[in-house]
Amino acid sequence: MLIQLTYASRTARILGPADIKDILGASQRNNARADITGALCLNHGIFLQQLEGDRAAVNALYHRLLKDTRHRDTAVLDFGEIPHRRFTSWSMGLLTSLDTNRQLFLKYSSSADFDPYSMSTSTLRSFFDEVMQNVRWLE
């Protein structure tokens, strides 16, 4: 059964470019091995991720992430069966805090800061759809 899990987390400390490169490399290797696809956005120390794959595999990956001390406030935001995947590989996108993105954040929440924790499920889905098209992806 294919499922999709969306979760957020805060980085325990400030991440430099090397950290980000590490995280991207590790997640690409691990996810490919477990046939997990998805996307990851990062802005001001907040991660927002969508994971797609077998229900057991996605649960296993999520549980491993919970033990990673570099993350805190990890929380499931959305979860459900999907007829087929949206992604066929693994990607990571940086949401910089330039004006364009601030307008994007403002459109989907009460303030111009990136705060997926306060989004309702339906707002989260609309936001993810739009962010997918505007973010600069690292591949």
Cross-strand bridge partners of residue 71: 11
Examine residue 90 and tell whether it contacts a second copy (CB under 8 A). Answer: no
Contact criterion met (CB below 8 Å) for 50 and 39: yes
Residue 87, CA distances (Å) to 10, 52, 92 in order? 24, 8, 12
Alpha helix (H) ranges present in the chain?
Answer: 17-33, 55-66, 99-108, 121-134
Question: Among 30, 96, 126, 134, which residue sits at the site for a second copy (rule: CB under 8 A)?
Answer: 126
Examine residue 28 and tell whether it contacts a second copy (CB under 8 A). Answer: no
User: In angstroms, what is the minimal distance from the CB of 16 to a second copy?
Assistant: 27
Among residues 14 and 81, whose Cβ is nearest to a second copy?
Answer: 81
Three-state SS at 126: helix
Q: Which residues of the chain form contacts with a second copy (CB under 8 A)?
A: 1-2, 5, 35, 37, 53-57, 59, 62-63, 66, 74-81, 83-85, 88-89, 103, 106-112, 117, 120-123, 126-127
